[in-house]
Structure formats: C-alpha cells, structure tokens
Amino acid sequence: MTSLWLASPRDSTTDAFDDGARYDEIIVGAGLTGLVTALLFARAGKKVAVLEARFIGAGATGNTSAKLSLLQGSQLQKIKQHTYQAITQAYVDGNRAAQQWLLEYAQSRDVAVQFRDAISYAATPEGTQTVEREFRVARSVGLDVQLRAELDLPFATYGAVVLPNQAQFDPMAVLEALATDIRKLGGVIVDRTRVTGVTAGPRSRPAVVRTGRGELFADHVHLTTGTPILDRGLYFAKLKPLRSYVTSYAVPGAIPEAMYLSVDAPSRSLRTAPSGDGTQGSGKHASDAHGGSEELLVGGNGHGVGREPSTQLRVDDLREWTERYFPGARLTHSWSAQDYETPHRVPFVGYLPRGRGAIYLATGYDKWGMTNGVVAALTLVSDILGDSPPWATAMHHRATLPAALGSGLGAGAAVGWWAAKGWAGALLGPRVDDLPRPGERQGLIGRSGIRPVGVSTVNSTTCAVSGVCPHLGGVLTWNAAETSWDCPLHGSRFSATGELLEGPAVRDLAQK
C-alpha cells in the first residue's frame, strides 16, 4: 500500500558511502526527526552524515497524516494522567516551539502549508466527558481552545473542542527541502544503508557505527529510527508499537475543511489534501474554499502491531465508513504505518543508557511526531551544543508516576502473553509440509521440527521464511493489508520475502 505522499516520483538522490569516514554527528534514520536533527547540526557547522536503511521517508513520516497541531485528540489529558501539570506544560511548550520552527522552515522553503482548525470530537455520548476534560487541560496549559456543541459533519457528534489556526502539509515536501539543505551545508545522506550496531565506550572513542556496507566513526550517534535499534536501555520493552490506517478519496461533493480526530474508539481522523499532493490525474475532486481541488483523508482503526487477525478488514471498514458518509467517494490511496506509545505518553529523548554519552535516541511520539519529531531534534541538538530550552530541561528531569509504571507493566504482560501464544500455536500447529498452499495475499505459520516457518503467496509467488523474529524470538503473524510478517512482541516487520522493513530488529528473516 503506497501513501498519497509517496505516490509521486520523488528525488532519489543518495550520497556515496565513504567506508571508514569520521563525522561529528551520525544520524540513523531519514524521517522527520533525523533530517531536522541533521540540518540543525549542519547549521551549527558540524560534519554530519545521515544513514537510512531504506529511503528518505520510508518509515512513519512518509506514511503519516501530517497534521501539525497542538490539540492532539485527547493526548493532553493522557499526559496529565500519567505525569503531572509541569510536564504537560513542558510538553505543550516544546510542541509549540516545534510547530513554530516547522512553519517558519516551510515558509522559508516555499513548502505549501494549509492552516486549519484542529477539532477533537466525541463520536459517542460517552466521549463528551473526554472532550470536556481535554478542553480543561488544554486551557490550563495556555491553549486558546473553544468548546463546540455541534459540528457541520455528515455523521453524529456529541461535542467538540476546537483549536483554531493549526496546520497540515505534505510531509515528503518537507523531507525533500530538509535533504536539499543538509546537502547544501556539506552533510551527506546515504540511503539503503542499514545500521546494525554501534559501539561506544572509553576504548571506543569515537563511536563505531557498523552497517552492512562497512564502518563509520562519530563523536555522537543519534538513533532516530522510530523504535531504537539498539537494545541497551531496553526501550523496545517500554514502547507499545501501534499500527494505524489512512485512506484518501476523491469526493464529488463538499468535504469538511478542518482537521478532525475522534476522542473515542474506533478512532476517525479526517483532513484534506490539495490534489497535487501525490494524486495528479486521480479524477474528480471536491473544491476547497480557495477554489483548488482537494482530496479527503480518513484514518483510524489502529491496533497493536502483529496483534490484529484481519488487517484488511480494518482498511475495508474505513472505506465503507467513508462511502457511507461521503457518497460517491472514490478511494485513491490506502496505506498504514506505525508509531510508538510510551508508558507516560511523552516521548523518550536523550542519551542512551550505557551509550557513554555518545549515543542518543528519540522515540515514542504516539502518532504526534510532526511536532514531537522536531521537539526531539531541538532537544538532541541543545543537549550536545548547550543552551537547552526550559521545556527540554523539565522533560529530562521528569519523575515516573505509578500510573506510568502500571501502564508499562501492563504492556510487558501483554508481550509475555503474545510470546506464549505465538509459540504454543506454532508448536501445536501443522508441519510446514502439511500446510495448504496459501491463497493470494495469505500467509500461514507451520513448523519444521520445532522451528516456526512462515509461508505466504504474494503476486502468485509462494515464499517460505523463518517465522521467528530475529530480534527476541517472537512468532510472526501475517498482515494481509501490507503482505508482511509482523512481530506482535516489539513491532518488527518483514516483507513476504523476509526483508526487514522496520522495528528494533536489524536482520532479515532467514529463507526456508
């Protein structure tokens, strides 16, 4: 499934891999976090290299909804519930600084941004209280929100909180501008280069960055890889990987102009996109208030990675919902992506424990990385160059509350349950030789001796790969919507042919 943003041909420039080269800062991962971090260091005169396993925007950033908003569904009350007022305030202050940075950057580089109201609405009567709570918390941290009883939408709503003048954009247009600017300042961006390990210690200065193509050296290494790829600090065990879906449509009638997000389940996220954003030639579109034609994006139906038995049903459900409320809507693109939730709902940003002050990480944006990715970049750069903003200092010194501990323990127990379920199912299941040939876009787990094997058919080609995640041994599950093998433990994902797509794993699946 290709996103609206990745559908048009994009610049595929890559720089040469200079085996053995030394840099001041190596950034691992070319999503929004990595590229903003790289640009800020390059502007400070540092020698910078970005190493990307796949291509620029391949992760969540090229597959996001790209709303740039300080009102984030019911996020503020969740943060307040898992932390405390000072941290909620620091979160909003950081997000505000990041939003400002991104808007100024987009303006300076002529990247189109549409300013829209952000609206968190209740889709059920029970959701009204959540809306009212979000209003109160948002007000308490200085956001100029308003309550609204009714919305002009074709489906029922039960109250909403509105923050005017937020923004939306095409994330790939921002990444391309960032990449150009990094290169202009002498930075290099090398794609198709997976980092497999980093060594940093008293006898290893500078840090050694190992890749499939050789080694590089750096004073500091920044893991901006979605979930961190190193197990030090056990961040993979503290993060909940959550997959979610987005669909885009050409709609014959009027479409809502604002950026909407329901506060209750199943989640529904709506925004528009100018039809030039990856959709040229896709047909008849609604017109926006400014006379341009627009597509409607509808997202939602999220779940834990690898834990949903029928991912395609989630996509079909979004489509049916949209066609019901926007008659004549014609699907142009559908895609999915994942992001990571922390136990306290605020991102992890800073140095990696046992990284000897040379390895840094940024993760856990809970689907709000358009601001939080920039927050992370501003934080990482100020951690190293000095002059940390007060909100970054407050975030670094936050205490962990019992609510966050409880949430972390619950997530850990769920991982244990999925590990046991996967292995029990595989060991009690059929031998791989006894499996029927999977139908098109289907995958099945069998066993060879006691080793789980995944067999799938995609484009009429049947492949057998190891059914065990090379990260920590979870038994993989089939994701029909993306035709991938997904790990229900920590969110690593692999293509049908075994190629690593994302997650904490750093190796492909073995062929069987």
Choice from 10, 285, 314, 367 touching ligand FAD (CB under 6 A): 367
User: From the CB of 32, what's the least distance to ligand FAD, in Å?
Assistant: 4
Choice from 60, 190, 297, 377 touching ligand FAD (CB under 6 A): 60
Number of residues that bind ligand FAD (CB under 6 A): 40
Burial track 158-191 (b if 16+ CB lie within 10 A, e otherwise): bbbbbbeebbbbbbbbbbbbbbebbbebebbbbb
Q: Extract the tokens encoding 420.
A: 């046991």
Task: Give the DSSP letter of residue 62.
Answer: G
Burial category of 136 from C-beta neighbours within 10 Å (exposed 0-12, middle 13-18, buried 19 and up): middle
Within 13 Å and on the Cβ side, how many CA atoms surround 435?
A: 24
229 lies in the binding site for ligand FAD (CB under 6 A): yes
User: From the CB of 203, what's the least distance to ligand FAD, in Å?
Assistant: 24
- 162 to each of 142, 189, 447, 505, how far by Cα in Å? 14, 39, 53, 40
DSSP codes, 408-457: HHHHHHHHHHHHHHHHHHHHHS-BGGGSPPPPTTEEEEEEETTEEEEEEE
User: From the CB of 278, what's the least distance to ligand FAD, in Å?
Assistant: 15
Q: CB under 6 A: which stretch of 48-56, 102-110, 439-447, 487-495 binds ligand FAD?
A: 48-56
Q: CB under 6 A: which stretch of 79-87, 141-149, 362-370, 396-404 binds ligand FAD?
A: 362-370
Q: Spell out the SS3 assignment of 361-409.
A: EEECCCCCHHHHHHHHHHHHHHHHHCCCCHHHHHHHCCCCCHHHHHHHH
Strands, E, within 61-153: which ranges?
67-68, 113-121, 146-148
Span 165-204, contacts to ligand FAD by CB under 6 A: 194-195
Of 123 and 426, CB closest to ligand FAD: 123
Using DSSP, how many helices (H) and how many strands (E) does the chain show?
10, 25
239 lies in the binding site for ligand FAD (CB under 6 A): no
Q: CB under 6 A: which stretch of 180-188, 337-345, 401-409, 488-496 binds ligand FAD?
A: 337-345
338 lies in the binding site for ligand FAD (CB under 6 A): yes
User: From the CB of 335, what's the least distance to ligand FAD, in Å?
Assistant: 8
Strands, E, within 89-159: which ranges?
113-121, 146-148
Q: CB under 6 A: which stretch of 105-113, 159-167, 360-368, 377-385 binds ligand FAD?
A: 360-368
65 lies in the binding site for ligand FAD (CB under 6 A): yes
User: From the CB of 375, what's the least distance to ligand FAD, in Å?
Assistant: 10
DSSP codes, 182-194: HHHTT-EEE-S--
User: From the CB of 362, what's the least distance to ligand FAD, in Å?
Assistant: 6
The three-class DSSP label of residue 311 is helix
Could you give the CA distance from residue 489 to residue 426 in angstroms, rounded to a whole number? Answer: 15
User: From the CB of 173, what's the least distance to ligand FAD, in Å?
Assistant: 14
Span 480-509, contacts to ligand FAD by CB under 6 A: 502, 506
User: From the CB of 373, what's the least distance to ligand FAD, in Å?
Assistant: 5
Choice from 351, 368, 391, 485 touching ligand FAD (CB under 6 A): 368
Position 205: which residue type? R
Choice from 3, 89, 130, 244 touching ligand FAD (CB under 6 A): 244
Choice from 10, 54, 80, 447 touching ligand FAD (CB under 6 A): 54
Of 45 and 212, CB closest to ligand FAD: 212
Span 4-33, contacts to ligand FAD by CB under 6 A: 28-33
The angle subtended at Cα 209 by Cα 204 and Cα 212, nearest 5°, is 140
Among all chains, which residue has been given the structure tokens 């202009």?
A: 184
Binding site for ligand FAD (CB under 6 A): 28-34, 51-54, 58-61, 64-67, 194-195, 224-226, 229, 244, 246, 299, 337-339, 365, 367-371, 373, 502, 506
